[in-house]
Amino acid sequence: MKNDFPATVSYNRFTELMQENLMAMTLFLKTCCLGDCSGISFIDSTPVRVRKNKRIHNHKVFKGIATTGRSTMGWFHGFKLHIIINGKGEILNFTITQANVDDREPLKKERFLDKIYGKLFADKGYIGKDLMQMLFVDGVHLITSVRNNMKNSLMTMSDKILLRKRSVIETVNDELKNICQIEHSRHRSFGNFLVNIIAGLIAYSFLPKKPSIKFQTIKTNQTTLF
């Protein structure tokens, strides 16, 4: 290997050089690796742990940056990765927040949804009347499942079917962690953490086969908003 790559640096030096490429990798991801919105999108967040729970108080790399939050799998220490995908499994946009940030907060930022239109399917964690109204004005119809103590809302059959297919984004999150390795607890700096996330998202965009859903639209004379 040394003969083929004579300029190879050591692992310690490599981790130092990683941070210098953060801006270039982010620009490449934003300009070349994101998909196009088709009017049907899915949103979800996934925890990105930086340390096991029993070692939280001994962790120094992310002291004052990482926070403790709760997901459906329990408490975790680290950050959240929020992604929006289309029906082809392509990532349309993403953002990273601290672990204790509400899942709905990124949707209140205009830049996160600047290229999203049509229907956006989400889980119960995104329920919010004011949020739905705000997004509706901007051309985004947020569709969520209902909680047990809520009244059923009127929903077309196609929306019900697409809402059941929301698990596709959970499969995307699973591939990001298990194939693209965006989550581990060996980061030496916050910059290296960001580089690892960006590199994982870029790697995912080059996967030959992504999780996707099959659906078709039927043209009718019914008047719709989108």
Question: How far is Cα 89 from Cα 92, in angstroms, rounded to an integer?
Answer: 9
What structural domains does the chain harbor?
11-205 (3.30.420.10)
Question: What pLDDT, on the 0 to 100 scale, is given for residue 223?
Answer: 47
At residue 148, does pLDDT exceed 70? no
Mean pLDDT estimate for the chain = 87
At residue 17, does pLDDT exceed 90? no
- DSSP H stretches of helix in the chain: 11-18, 22-32, 129-137, 157-164, 167-178, 190-205
More confident residue, 34 or 157: 34
Question: How far is Cα 206 from Cα 184, in angstroms, rounded to an integer?
Answer: 21
pTM: 0.87
Question: What pLDDT, on the 0 to 100 scale, is given for residue 72?
Answer: 81
Question: What pLDDT, on the 0 to 100 scale, is given for residue 150?
Answer: 60
Give tens-digit pLDDT for 82-127: 999 999 999 999 999 999 999 999 999 989 999 999 999 999 889 8
Question: What pLDDT, on the 0 to 100 scale, is given for residue 64?
Answer: 85
Task: Write out the two tokens for 70.
Answer: 């709760």
At residue 201, does pLDDT exceed 90? yes
Banded model confidence at residue 216, pLDDT cuts 50, 70, 90: low
Radius of gyration of the chain (CA): 20
| Beta-strand pair 40-51/74-86 | antiparallel
Question: What pLDDT, on the 0 to 100 scale, is given for residue 1?
Answer: 67
Question: What pLDDT, on the 0 to 100 scale, is given for residue 158?
Answer: 86
What lies within 8 Å, CB to CB, of 214 at 6+ separation is none
Give tens-digit pLDDT for 24-81: 999 999 999 999 999 999 999 999 998 877 767 766 788 888 888 888 888 888 899 9
Q: How far apart are the first and last CA of the chain?
A: 56
Question: What pLDDT, on the 0 to 100 scale, is given for residue 45?
Answer: 94
Give tens-digit pLDDT for 169-189: 999 999 999 999 999 877 888
